[in-house]
Every structure is written in C-alpha cells, then in structure tokens.
Structure 1
Amino acid sequence: MKFKILLKILCFSVLLASCKSTSSTSTKKTKLVVGIVIDQMRYDYLTKFADRFGEEGFNRILKDGFSLENAHFNLIPTYTAVGHTTIYTGTTPSEHGIISNDWYDKYEKKMVYCVNDNTYKTLGNNGSSGQKSPKRLVTSTITDQLHLAQNMQGKTIGISIKDRAAILPAGHTANGAYWYDGENYNTWITSTFYMDKLPQWVTDFNNNNKADEYLNNPWKTLYDINSYVNSRSDDNIFEETLIGQETPTLPKDLKSLRTTNNNFDLLKTVPAGNTFTVDFAKAAIIGEQLGKSKHTDFLAVSFSSTDYVGHKYGISAVETEDTYLRLDNDLADFFQFLDKQVGKDNYTLFLTADHAAVHSPAYLQSLKIPAHYLNVEKLKTFLSETTKRYFNSSD
C-alpha cells in the first residue's frame, strides 16, 4: 500500500463526491486530508484480527472505504525513512534520495542520519533532538504539491513519535513537523527549520504531562489473555524482555520498569504510545484549526509504537496482537473526533504501512523451516576486500 493507493483513494473520494453532488454545478472541496502510516503493519493483520476489531476502527475503513490489496513499490531497504518517503513522493529511493534510515555519505566521508541537520535548533526543550530538516529529501512530496497547487495556502502538519516519520511525509514546505523527545525531556518538539517559536498549543500539551499518566498504569491485555488465540504462548524464548523484567510476558509494570528503560522513552515501546500520538494529533487539529479554512489542509500522522513492539516481541506475540487491538480503539476514537471536529463529509483519509515484518529466523529454525541470519561483519570484510581488489579503494 503505497502512493498509488493514495492516488486511487483520492480519485475514488472525488468520484463519490461527484456522485453525491448531482444537483450542484461544482464538487465539494475536501477540507482536510489525513494520511495515516502504521509502522511495520502487515496487511494480513486486517484479516487476522478482523473478528476482534470493533466496527469503528480498521473495519470502518474496510467497510466504507476502498482497499487496494495488490499495490506496492519494489524497493530496498524496507526501513521507516525509506517507506514513508516512498509513500509521500510516489517514487523509489534512487529518485527521492532517502536510501536508508542512515547511510555512509561518500562526499562527507561519514555516516549520516536521514533527517539530521545541525544548522537548525530544537524548539521544545534545550536538547539537540530537534536539529533536523528534510534537506536530504531531493524530490517533492504530495504535501508539497498540495501547497504548490494552492499557492502555498492551506496547512501541512506532520506528527509521529519518530522524527523521520514526521519530517519526511510533511515535505519541504510544511507548516510544522512534530516528534516526541522522551527519556528525561518528555516533550513534543520541532525544529527551527519550520518556525522560530513553538506554538502555544504545543506548549500547553507538553505542560499537561499525559505521558506520566500512561506510564503510571500497567500494560495488561485488553481482554482475557486466553482469548489471544492468534498469538503464540506469551512466555517464549523468541521475544525480548524489558530491562528489569524476568520474562517477556504481560502484564508489564510500566511504573517500575521506566526507571531501567530510559524513563519516558518506554512510552514509545508500548501501545499507549499510539494513544499518546492520537492525543497530540487531536491537539494539532484544534490548535492549527485544520479543516476550517477554504483551503485544503493535510495532516500526516504516523504510528510508531507498532514498530517498537514488533521488533521486540515478533509478529505472533501476544503483545503485538494486543497493540493492534488497542490501536483499533485509538483509530475509532480518532475517526469519531474527525467526524465531529471537521465533519464526516469534509475529510479524506488513507491508511497504509511503511513496511511489514517477518518471523524471526530463530523461530523459523525451531520449526525446521530454512532461515538464516546475515553475518554483517563477514559481509563488510568481503566488500572491503573486493573494492580494494577491483577499484584500489575501500571508500
């Protein structure tokens, strides 16, 4: 599900609007486009968990929307930065320039991070996590093109716990991109690339300290753990544990575990991180008055906690299933908010993923399925020796 999906969804929405407006000489203009990217979501989760989802989240999209099941881009590597950029540019890494999350720049002769830019400063705290911009993105995005089509009218806002998942979708002309700086800061931040001063609504949100509220509650399964039949046993050797936890199982006492797991950063790795993202997205819609002007606004929201959970516990973990069941509730809540705040017929929404995931090789090996791990150090040695032999260089 990539940029082609967005194009077809937008076209489909226009078609629906045209059909509804048979008595009008002009079609109704969309006031707000909402782009949702769920980090590491596999398409089969829509069917795997369908009977456990409610009617107003994922199932509402499937029922009222249009699902493209065979639309994709062939690209490598399937990383967060690459996937998000491909979705919003409609092209591949060789064209848009974001070839990984980080890579070796042969001109700068060092490793670079996809959105690092120390020419800008942090807004939101006195740390360095806001020294970011989309300068390494060498093409325009659909968000940029929307701005250009409206002579820079309308607003574009990018939101995600991850900086790259907020910055790259928002493009070069965004009015703002916001990401969460956890650990000991606990603030949503941005960069002076976008503005000179943090908006008051962001300051107010940070002062509400919702993160503490979420971390003071344990992570328990939403339903009876015995009902999680789509997942393997909760206690198994193929999952990681949080520091301070003896087994990789639920429930997890977040209040006590936060001290050994980078404090507020722990929120990124649990389902409440998605709820926290919805909270901030709502605040952005109200604070920026998105969908209230005569021009079309764009809100790009990426949910990152699914990726943290997937990497730590695997695609068949109870934690992963519970995360998606809770995300379904978060989406239902968000959709209802959009219906009320913007108007049910006034926004167009699409949902996709930047990449998916597979079973861990160790788990597959335990089932006698051929699977292996890549020895990165051996590969580096081979590449270094080969380049020296044929090109007289290891650069």
Structure 2
Amino acid sequence: MKKLFSLIFMFSFLFSCSILAQRKEKTKEINQNTAIAETPKLVVGIVVDQMRYDYLTRFWNEYGEGGFKRLVNEGFNCKNHHFNYAPTSTGPGHASVYTGTTPATHGIIGNEWYDKIADQDVYCASDSASNSVGTTSDAGKMSPHRMLTSTITDQLRLHTQMRGKTIAIALKDRGAVLPGGHTANAAYWFEGGENGLWISSSY
C-alpha cells in the first residue's frame, strides 16, 4: 500500500511540475509577444541614397556589430516593401518611404516639376511662405506643403498626442523636410557652397 501511495504521490508531483512548466513557458511566450507590441521610446529612420535592400544581406559579414547588424537584429526590419513608380529621384523616394505610398498619392512626383496651376516650375520642398532659419539666403524657405499625405513621423506625433518629438536631419533639404513631415519639431539640412551652415525653416 505504501508503494502504491508513493507511486501516486510521485505521479501527481511530476504531473503538477509538468503543468507548471507548461504554464511558465506559455507565460514567457505571451510576455515575448507583448514586448513586441510595447511602444518604443525611440524610432530612428535611416534612408541611404542608392542603397538597395539586398546590400544588407550581401555585405552582412562586412558590417560591424554596432551598426546595421544592431539595427537589423534589435530593430524593426521591413523586408518586403516595393513602391511601383518612376523616376526614383530623391524627393519622391523619401516621400514614398515615409508616407508608405506612391507619388500619384503623396504628390511629390519629382525633385522638380511643372505646376500647371501655378504655371511655373516648382521644387518639391520649396515654400515661399516659410522663412529661412540660420541663414540669410532663401535656402531655408522649405516645407513639406506640397506633400498631400501624412508621414509615419506625423502619425507617431499624433499617436503621442503631439508629445513625441520628430527631428529630421539630412544633407539635402528635401531629405530632411519630407521625412520630417508636416508636424516635425525640427528639420535641419546643410547649406553648402560658401556658407557651409546647418540651417532650418520656420515651417
């Protein structure tokens, strides 16, 4: 009888341990899935002109641990995004990446184009209603007012009820202004030539 009782006790104990282990594993899995859904504290968007996605895998062994590898391994990696449009100029490219749509929808159809309503050639980021900041030239008269849609940066600001910050930095004005979106806290770009200044806009 003692042997039978011992066997029943041992079986019950092992069964209980098995159930607890399964619950613990399930809880761990739920926590991992929940961690993915948590709101990140920092979002960094990087666009490298002329860099195809396959360069990440093609040159993987050439990258250091703290650069692209860290971004891919610890960040969110968009692997299958294609935007069917041409030409692939800087302005439409940045606008497409940050709006998630094509020039026909977001309105940035080139770096420059003829605006038939205004009856003049226009630049994708130019805005005569904005003022230059950090320079006396017109190089700071820029804004995303020609972009007809919101960007992911705009949506992040809206999601945080405008408490989040969006700061866009690029060498080219269109590389800062368009990704920064309509609600950016700041957009900075480099004014080359004789000035050599980091400038901004009042928009």
TM-based fold match above 0.5? yes
1:163–1:180: 8 Å Cα contact kept in structure 2? Answer: yes
CA drift of 1:115 comes to 0.6
Match 1:107 to one of 108, 113, 117: 117
Q: With a CA cutoff of 8 Å and minimum separation of 6, indicate the structure with the bigger relative contact order.
A: 1
Tell me, in whole angstroms, the C-alpha distance in 2 between the residues paired with 1:126 and 1:20.
Answer: 52
Is 2:169 the partner of 1:159?
yes
Match 2:178 to one of 152, 160, 168: 168
State the secondary structure of the residue aligned to 2:45: strand
Match 2:143 to one of 117, 133, 156: 133
State the secondary structure of the residue aligned to 2:43: strand
State the secondary structure of the residue aligned to 1:34: coil
In the alignment, what sits opposite 1:74? 84
Tell me, in whole angstroms, the C-alpha distance in 2 between the residues paired with 1:148 and 1:163.
Answer: 24
Is 2:201 the partner of 1:191?
yes
Decide which moves more: 146-155 or 32-41: 146-155
Residue 187 of structure 1 aligns with an amino acid whose one-letter code is: L
Match 1:85 to one of 95, 100, 116: 95
Is 2:48 the partner of 1:38?
yes
Change (3 A) 1:52 1:147: closer
Change (3 A) 1:130 1:17: farther
Residue 126 of structure 2 aligns with an amino acid whose one-letter code is: N
Tell me, in whole angstroms, the C-alpha distance in 1 between the residues paired with 2:163 and 2:124.
Answer: 28
State the secondary structure of the residue aligned to 1:126: coil
Q: How many residues are matched?
A: 174
In the alignment, what sits opposite 1:180? 190
Residue 148 of structure 1 aligns with an amino acid whose one-letter code is: L
CA drift of 1:108 comes to 1.3
Superposed CA RMSD: 2.3
Match 2:134 to one of 117, 121, 124: 124
Change (3 A) 1:33 1:18: farther
Change (3 A) 1:183 1:17: farther
1:17–1:28: 8 Å Cα contact kept in structure 2? Answer: no
State the secondary structure of the residue aligned to 1:180: strand
Deviations 1:253-297 (A, max 9, x none): xxxxxxxxxxxxxxxxxxxxxxxxxxxxxxxxxxxxxxxxxxxxx
State the secondary structure of the residue aligned to 1:83: helix
Q: Is the radius of gyration larger for structure 1 or structure 2?
A: 2
Tell me, in whole angstroms, the C-alpha distance in 1 between the residues paired with 2:47 and 2:30.
Answer: 24
Residue 108 of structure 1 aligns with an amino acid whose one-letter code is: A
Tell me, in whole angstroms, the C-alpha distance in 2 between the residues paired with 1:166 and 1:185.
Answer: 19
CA drift of 1:51 comes to 2.9
Match 1:51 to one of 55, 61, 85: 61
State the secondary structure of the residue aligned to 1:36: coil
Tell me, in whole angstroms, the C-alpha distance in 2 between the residues paired with 1:43 and 1:148.
Answer: 29
CA drift of 1:69 comes to 3.9
Change (3 A) 1:18 1:101: farther
Change (3 A) 1:172 1:63: closer
Structure 2 stretches lacking a partner, 5+ long: 1-28
CA drift of 1:72 comes to 1.1
Report 1:319-358 matches (<5 A): none
Tell me, in whole angstroms, the C-alpha distance in 2 between the residues paired with 1:81 and 1:146.
Answer: 21
Structure 1 stretches lacking a partner, 5+ long: 1-15, 194-395
Match 1:19 to one of 20, 32, 41: 32
In the alignment, what sits opposite 1:246? none
Aligned sequence identity (%): 52
Deviations 1:130-180 (A, max 9, x none): 011111011111111222222222111111001001001111111111100
Tell me, in whole angstroms, the C-alpha distance in 2 between the residues paired with 1:17 and 1:159.
Answer: 37
State the secondary structure of the residue aligned to 1:129: helix
In the alignment, what sits opposite 1:150? 160
Which runs of 4 or more aligned residues in structure 1 lie more than 3 Å from their structure 2 counterparts after TM superposition?
Answer: 61-70
CA drift of 1:81 comes to 0.8
Change (3 A) 1:131 1:65: closer
CA drift of 1:91 comes to 1.1
Tell me, in whole angstroms, the C-alpha distance in 1 between the residues paired with 2:165 and 2:80.
Answer: 32
In the alignment, what sits opposite 1:229? none
Change (3 A) 1:85 1:146: same
For normalisation by structure 1, the TM-score amounts to 0.41
